[in-house]
Each structure stands twice: as structure tokens, then as C-alpha cells.
């Protein structure tokens, strides 16, 4: 895949870039290693000062970088600006909280006495250069939610971004440079996917994090396992959105629309499978379909656009295959389902009903504005349908019955359960999944400690 900016709204190639050669990659790896040796000794106060400066610059650049993201991957420009603002918020959160999250831990006095020590501490120390392999769908946020905690922990970052968002990738390197971080603290590597394996095998790279597809996760995890290096993986998702009879149907349907089409439906944590109790199925379906049909699809640079194009022609083709397979197997198309006759890689908000286990869309992730509707006879069947997926990223539950809430929290196989609200990520709370959605956690204290050397310090009498 070429490293290029191709506008998905019209298919026009705007900029192309040459992949970095071996000499340049070697220079950057040397720089990362050398910078880490000194940066690791900086104080939390100094790191926080630099990260807060980066947040200030990002706020100033919000309009400009928002337009760049929209041009490169097609998200509505209002959502792009919101993504930039969210990144600045996360930077400030880690600047404020990292020192406390990584403070030395003192075990209980009795446990220290049992060891015969005068003092025992647990200290969190940085690991070194970390390779981040990141996707195009949230081209700022996915990177910042790794970079902010990693830099605050004293690590340095090497970014291999998706090949269709090179301008965003280069902007990120420039942002941290302008903020005053030492050269080599955060570097963008303009390389293709084939180069990742060699970089991960390099002894100077200590760990890796990847957000992306299941095949990409398998490849990185395989190499990292061979090299015995720590990894964090956030892969695909096919999140359930369960609606029970006690739910506020108007609100549930309104949020369901947003949850399905946010970021043009190209989000791992977007609700994709809508599982509705039979008593309220018809009422919810009518509201949900009406909301999906009312969405404004169009030029993502326009302020009133709610659904823009998919990021790539191949992405749209993959989505069409899932819809066509479901249709051939007996699914009912309640709205959408046909490619519009216009330039660009647009696909309309679509709702499918009558889904069966034999359909590909039941097992595979639909990465675009396509929703599947399921009817559940009771709570037990709703849980069975929700868990009948290879993924386990997050989940949504709509009920005002606390006993049902307890059951869903206990039984849903996911890294998050959002009750009467839409799945979202926040710097204060851990984010990640189970099953084929990956392992490890980002954000919060859990995320910043993923790339730390958790060190026991034992002192004798």
C-alpha cells in the first residue's frame, strides 16, 4: 500500500511519500536509544511541562489538524476537531496524574517484616523505546492515548502509522518537537507494514502496542512472542447494544444511531449488534430505522454532515460483501444497503434484520455504518446472543432494572459494560478487550503501567 493522502470523498490522490530507507531507519533507532538514556532521568514535573505545552499547541491547531484528518480518512470535520480536543484533554490528564500513578508503593509493614528487610518498595521504571503500530480511523486519538502515558512514564515512542494518514503522522512528530520534547522522544517512521517485523526484532525496541485488525495483531504478537517483548493489542470489536423492556426507548434509539455511525461507523467500539427484547423490538426498530434514515450523508468538510465516506475503496467493498452475503442468506434490509451514485467511497446508514449464525456479518466486524438487529426472548437469550462473538471489546445495556444490570455486568464477555449510555474512552478509565479483541489495557493507571518495569526494591537492615 503506498504511503499517500487520498481524499476518500472523491478518490483524489493529494500527496505521496517515499518510505524511509534503511539508513534513515537506523539513524532514528540510534536516536531513540540515545534519547531514552537521558530522557528516562527527567523529572515528572519536566515531562508534565512538555506535555501540557503539546496540549496547548494541539488546541491552537485544532481547526487545521481537523481538516487534515478529514481529508485523509473522511470523518466529519466536527468530529475531527472533537478528536483533537479529546487528545489535548488526555495529555493534560496524564501530565497531572502520572506522578501519582507511578509513585513508589510501600507494602504492609507485616509483609516487610516477614522478608527480613528494613524496607521494601515497588517502583515503576520506564522500559525504553516502544513501537506503536496505529490505525487510520482515529489517527490522532489512537496515538495520543499511547504517547501521553508512555512519555510521562519516561519511555520514548516510535510511530508506524497507517499508510493512508501520513500527514497526520508527521504532524504528531512535529507537535511533540514544537512542544520542546528532546529530539528522538517521539518519531514518526514513514514505512510500510512489511518493515514492522524487522523493527520489532531490533534489540533497541523494548515493547510494542498495536491498535488495528486481527491479522495485524497476530503478526505483531507472534514476532514479539518470539523476541519475548511486551505487547498491548486493541483489535476489532462487534459490540452488542442490548435493549430491555424497562429502557427509555426514545433515548436508547437516539444513542443507538450515534453509537453505530460515529466516525462513519468505522470504530472498534461502535455498537454494531442491536439485541432487543421481543416486547419492545418493534417499537425500538421503528425508532432506530427512522433515525438512521434521517442522517445527513455528504461532504465531510461541511459542518452539518453526519456521515461521510468510508476511508478506502477496499473498506467499502468489504462492507458491501458482508451486506450482500446477509441479503442472499435471507436478511431483511430495513434501510440503506445500496451504494450511492456519487464520487467517493460513500455507503449509506444501513439496518439489517433477521440475522442468523450462518451469515458472515454475525461473526465478522462490519467496519462502516451497518447495524444488525436481533430479537431476544428474554435476558438469558440476550446474553447468549451478545456473547456469541469472537470479539469482546465493549458492550452497551439499556435497562432500569438493577437486577438486570447486575446480571449483564456479571455475564457479558467484554472489557467494558456501559449501562444506559454509549461506549466511550476516557483517560481516567481502563480501555481494552478480551477474546479476539486483544489483551492489555490502555488509559488510566493500568495503561501507563503496561510499559513500565515493575521493580521490587528490597533493602536489608
Q: Residue 90: pLDDT above 80?
A: yes
- 26 is an active site residue: no
Collapse the DSSP code of 255 into the 3-class scheme (helix H, G, I; strand E, B; otherwise coil) and give the result.
helix
Collapse the DSSP code of 156 into the 3-class scheme (helix H, G, I; strand E, B; otherwise coil) and give the result.
strand
Distance CA 459, CA 461 (A): 7
pLDDT at 270: 97
pLDDT at 55: 99
Q: Residue 64: pLDDT above 90?
A: yes
User: One of 234, 364, 365, 442 is an active-site residue; which one?
Assistant: 234
Asked whether the beta carbons of 131 and 160 are under 8 A apart, the reply is yes
Distance CA 128, CA 452 (A): 9
Q: What is the pLDDT of residues 133-179, one digit of tens each?
A: 999 999 999 999 999 999 999 999 999 999 999 999 999 999 999 99
Q: What is the pLDDT of residues 14-50, one digit of tens each?
A: 999 999 999 999 999 999 999 999 999 999 999 999 9
User: One of 268, 364, 365, 442 is an active-site residue; which one?
Assistant: 268
- 33 is an active site residue: no
Collapse the DSSP code of 42 into the 3-class scheme (helix H, G, I; strand E, B; otherwise coil) and give the result.
coil
Q: What is the pLDDT of residues 117-138, one digit of tens each?
A: 999 999 999 999 999 999 999 9
Q: Which residues, 6+ apart, have CB-to-CB distance to 282 below 8 Å? A: none
Q: Residue 1: pLDDT above 80?
A: no
Residues 147-186: b if buried by 16+ CB within 10 A, e if exposed: bbbbbbbbbbbbbbbbbbbbbbbbbbbebbbebebbebbb
pLDDT at 127: 98
DSSP 20: P
Distance CA 401, CA 355 (A): 27
pTM: 0.97
Amino acid at each position: 500500500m503506498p504511503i499517500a493522502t487520498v481524499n476518500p470523498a472523491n478518490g483524489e490522490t493529494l500527496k505521496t511519500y517515499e518510505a524511509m530507507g534503511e539508513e534513515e531507519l537506523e539513524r532514528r533507532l540510534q536516536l531513540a536509544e540515545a534519547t531514552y538514556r537521558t530522557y528516562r532521568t527527567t523529572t515528572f514535573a519536566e515531562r508534565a511541562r512538555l506535555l501540557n505545552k503539546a496540549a496547548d499547541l494541539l488546541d491552537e491547531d485544532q481547526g487545521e489538524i481537523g481538516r487534515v484528518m478529514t481529508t485523509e480518512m473522511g470523518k466529519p470535520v466536527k468530529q475531527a476537531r472533537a478528536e483533537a480536543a479529546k487528545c489535548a484533554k488526555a495529555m493534560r490528564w496524564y501530565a497531572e496524574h502520572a506522578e501519582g500513578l507511578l509513585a513508589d508503593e510501600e507494602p504492609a509493614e507485616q509483609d516487610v517484616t516477614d522478608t527480613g528487610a528494613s524496607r521494601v518498595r515497588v517502583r515503576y521504571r520506564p522500559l525504553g523505546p516502544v513501537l506503536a503500530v496505529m490505525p487510520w480511523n482515529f489517527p490522532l486519538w489512537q496515538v495520543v492515548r499511547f504517547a501521553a502515558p508512555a512519555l510521562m512514564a519516561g519511555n520514548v515512542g516510535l510511530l508506524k502509522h497507517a499508510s493512508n494518514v501520513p500527514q497526520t503522522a508527521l504532524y504528531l512528530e512535529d507537535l511533540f518537537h514544537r512542544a520542546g520534547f528532546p529530539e528522538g522522544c517521539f518519531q514518526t517512521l514513514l514505512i510500510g507494514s512489511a518493515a514492522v517485523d524487522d523493527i520489532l526484532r531490533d534489540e533497541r525496541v523494548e515493547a510494542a502496542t498495536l491498535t488495528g485488525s486481527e491479522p495485524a495483531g497476530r503478526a505483531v504478537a507472534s514476532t514479539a512472542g518470539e523476541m519475548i517483548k511486551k505487547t498491548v493489542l486493541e483489535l476489532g470489536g462487534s459490540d452488542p447494544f442490548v435493549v430491555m423492556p424497562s429502557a427509555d426507548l426514545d433515548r436508547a434509539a437516539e444513542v443507538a444511531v450515534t453509537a453505530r455511525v460515529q466516525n462513519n461507523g468505522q470504530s472498534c467500539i461502535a455498537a454494531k449488534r442491536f439485541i432487543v427484547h421481543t416486547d419492545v423490538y418493534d417499537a425500538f426498530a421503528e425508532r432506530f430505522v427512522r433515525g438512521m434514515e434521517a442522517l445527513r450523508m455528504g461532504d465531510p468538510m461541511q459542518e452539518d454532515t453526519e456521515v461521510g465516506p468510508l476511508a478506502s475503496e477496499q473498506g467499502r467493498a468489504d462492507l458491501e460483501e458482508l451486506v450482500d452475503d446477509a441479503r442472499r442468506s435471507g436478511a431483511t434490509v430495513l434501510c440503506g444497503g445500496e451504494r450511492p451514485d456519487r464520487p467517493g467511497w460513500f455507503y449509506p446508514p444501513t439496518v439489517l434484520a433477521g440475522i442468523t449464525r450462518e451469515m458472515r456479518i454475525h461473526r465478522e466486524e462490519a467496519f462502516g455504518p451497518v447495524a444488525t438487529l436481533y430479537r431476544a426472548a428474554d435476558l438469558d437469550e440476550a446474553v447468549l446472543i451478545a456473547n456469541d462473538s469472537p470479539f469482546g471489546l465493549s458492550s452497551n445495556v439499556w435497562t432500569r432494572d438493577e437486577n438486570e444490570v447486575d446480571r449483564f455486568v456479571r455475564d457479558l464477555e467484554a472489557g467494558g459494560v456501559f449501562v444506559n449510555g454509549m461506549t466511550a474512552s476516557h483517560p481516567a478509565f481502563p480501555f481494552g478487550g478480551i477474546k479476539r479483541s486483544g489483551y492489555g489495557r490502555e488509559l488510566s493507571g493500568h495503561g501507563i503501567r503496561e510499559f513500565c518495569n515493575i521493580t521490587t526494591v528490597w533493602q536489608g537492615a
